[in-house]
Homo-oligomer: A and B are copies of this chain.
Amino acid sequence: MQIWRVNVGQRNLTREPAPESWSRLGGRGLSARILLDEVDPSCDPLGAGNKLIFAPGLLVGHMLSSCDRISIGGKSPLTGGIKEANAGGTTGLQMAYLGIRALIIEDIPAEPGFWVLHLSKQGARFEQTFRACPEPAEGVSEDPKGLIGLGVYETASKLLEKYGQKVAIALIGPGGEMKLSAAGIQNLDKDKVPSRIAARGGLGAVMGSKGLKAVVFDAAGCPKPPIANPEAYREAQKVYNKALLDHPQTHTYRDYGTAAMVQMCQTFGSLPTRNFSAGQFEGADAISGEHLRELLLGRGGVSNPTHACMPGCTIRCSNVFGGEDGKVIVSPLEYESIGLMGSNLGIDSLDAIARLNWQVNDLGLDSIEVGAALGVAAEAGQMGWGDAARALELLDEIRRNTPLGRVLANGAVSTGKHFGIQRVPAVKGQAMSAYEPRAIKGTGVTYATSPQGADHTAGLTIRARINHLDPKGQADVSRTAQINMAGYDSLGACLFAGFGFAVASVETIASLLNARYGWNVGTDILQALGKETLKLEREFNRRAGFTAKDDRLPEWMTREPLPPHNAVFDVAEEDLDGVFDW
């Protein structure tokens, strides 16, 4: 397992063994370690000093169910702090086959333009077919415009045509090319659809600043990553698989996908509605997981309420959303998109949400950030609540790179600032996910204190057995969730893999790691990885100038009551400041 270091200024690759201090880390934790070691936290996120890290989690490479995720990291142009965004799909797997523990992309190009970086066991190739200049360069026979400005879907299909159907691809859309702060990095799912987006924090803009339209990972001719103790590994895998398969949540997510959360949040009064002004939505039934399943089963054609994003996943929480004509509208349609682009905009049609979602995906943007920005824009009178046609027009402003489009695609804070709107649901510059923090206060603590900015994947607490409206005890619940999630993100394990690990006991994680790497880690390894990761991330942010003042929800959420419970966010500041005292 090596570190691959690509310099886009000099267009070269060096391969080196991982330093000792990095060797026990993976995914989010390794990304944090590299960033802290090599990047000046006060650098310009879109400048030569920032680095873009791709690091598969420690368990990636063996199609362990829900454990092949890729972590992508860098300094965020959205938050100004450290950022890790992870995704399913096949990128992590192909990187593991190539023997890459981490890919570090450095510098910025010496001339403007976009390239495709092709990585294989032969090394790195920069394909110069994708130039920004309007005239073909001398000696360039292909269409010089190439992929510039193309959406994610068309780009992916052209790249697959060129590089073969077996490669993994990480790519950006027009949003990343335009260096917009809501831009993410997409990855192919197992069916080669570029829908697995490392969405949050603007890492697509960082990739755009490095002049990369796509990174192609071609593991042709590479063996499976070695396993130190195959028998012990198989044994541990069996325990984990059984636990995961037996867990009731696995079935819920298979049947309803993440959209199952719509009714759950509606019940808790935590479904973001009309720019986070209410916690229940009168159209919740129409956008619920139950209705989604019914609709997709009824429609037939490509529609499918159950779909796996990674090879080998037994949960298969994903789906394919087809239209009445049997053709795909978008795949998948996830709860976060439904929450932010549905109830948050007053839109109660799954078809309309799916169409918005396709556009946002094709632009290469984060549907949470864009959905939140549209909510703020709606409050500023730029669209009516529930007006999906106008929302599509606003997305088209982004595609046309108009000033209004840029404002929106730079995120919710940018939009609020632009229109002078106070009710902006964001922390550290990043929009909240679809869990209203006044009604799920533990998740509010996570939003406030996570080094990543507001994000549910940093530590969702909705399943904790606690009164979510009571301010007491929420910091403890958030602390546990944040440590676990930082641990899972270092393993490459999906949020939902946690169900399996929780039942199979944490020993299984240690067994899997020890069997794979020949290590001798203890049962506290998940916690240890999580704490180490959070410590590194907080240190990066501290050096970037963050203080306790950044670990707060927006002030209006502490005084504006949220219907129906009329809750405000009232977790004590001492509790917030104590989250990382473990």
Q: Name A residues whose Cβ lies closer than 8 Å to a Cβ of B.
A: 40-44, 46-47, 49, 178-179, 181, 205, 209, 402-404, 406-407, 410, 414, 417-420, 422, 543-550, 552, 554-556
Closest Cβ neighbor of A405 among chain B residues: B403
**Closest CB of chain B to A530's CB: distance in Å?**
26
Kindly identify which residue among B178, B181, B404, B422 contacts A46, using a CB–CB cutoff of 8 Å. Answer: B422
Docked pose: A555 CA to B46 CA in angstroms: 12
Collect the chain B residues with CB atoms within 8 Å of residue A556's CB: 44, 47
Kindly identify which residue among B40, B41, B404, B549 contacts A545, using a CB–CB cutoff of 8 Å. Answer: B549
Extra A-B contacts (11), CB below 8 Å, given A41-B549, A44-B556, A407-B418: A40-B555, A43-B555, A44-B555, A46-B422, A47-B556, A178-B420, A403-B404, A406-B419, A407-B407, A410-B417, A547-B547
Given contacts A43-B555, A552-B42, A556-B44, contact A417 B420 (CB under 8 A): no
Most buried by B among A46, A205, A410, A545: A545
Copies in the complex: 2
**Closest CB of chain B to A430's CB: distance in Å?**
15
Are B555 and A549 closer than 8 Å at their CB atoms? no
Docked pose: A44 CA to B406 CA in angstroms: 24
Closest Cβ neighbor of A80 among chain B residues: B549
Are B547 and A422 closer than 8 Å at their CB atoms? no
**Closest CB of chain B to A148's CB: distance in Å?**
15
Kindly identify which residue among B41, B179, B407, B543 contacts A403, using a CB–CB cutoff of 8 Å. Answer: B407
Collect the chain B residues with CB atoms within 8 Å of residue A546's CB: 545, 547
Collect the chain B residues with CB atoms within 8 Å of residue A46's CB: 420, 422
Sample of 9 A–B contacts (CB below 8 Å): A44-B555, A47-B422, A47-B556, A179-B420, A402-B403, A403-B404, A403-B407, A414-B417, A545-B548
Collect the chain B residues with CB atoms within 8 Å of residue A549's CB: 41-42, 543-545
Closest Cβ neighbor of A542 among chain B residues: B547
**Closest CB of chain B to A549's CB: distance in Å?**
3
**Closest CB of chain B to A581's CB: distance in Å?**
20
Docked pose: A14 CA to B420 CA in angstroms: 29
Most buried by B among A178, A181, A417: A417
Are B178 and A49 closer than 8 Å at their CB atoms? no
Given contacts A417-B410, A417-B414, A418-B407, contact A545 B550 (CB under 8 A): yes
**Closest CB of chain B to A410's CB: distance in Å?**
6
Closest Cβ neighbor of A544 among chain B residues: B549
Kindly identify which residue among B44, B402, B552 contacts A422, using a CB–CB cutoff of 8 Å. Answer: B44
**Closest CB of chain B to A106's CB: distance in Å?**
16
Docked pose: A419 CA to B422 CA in angstroms: 24
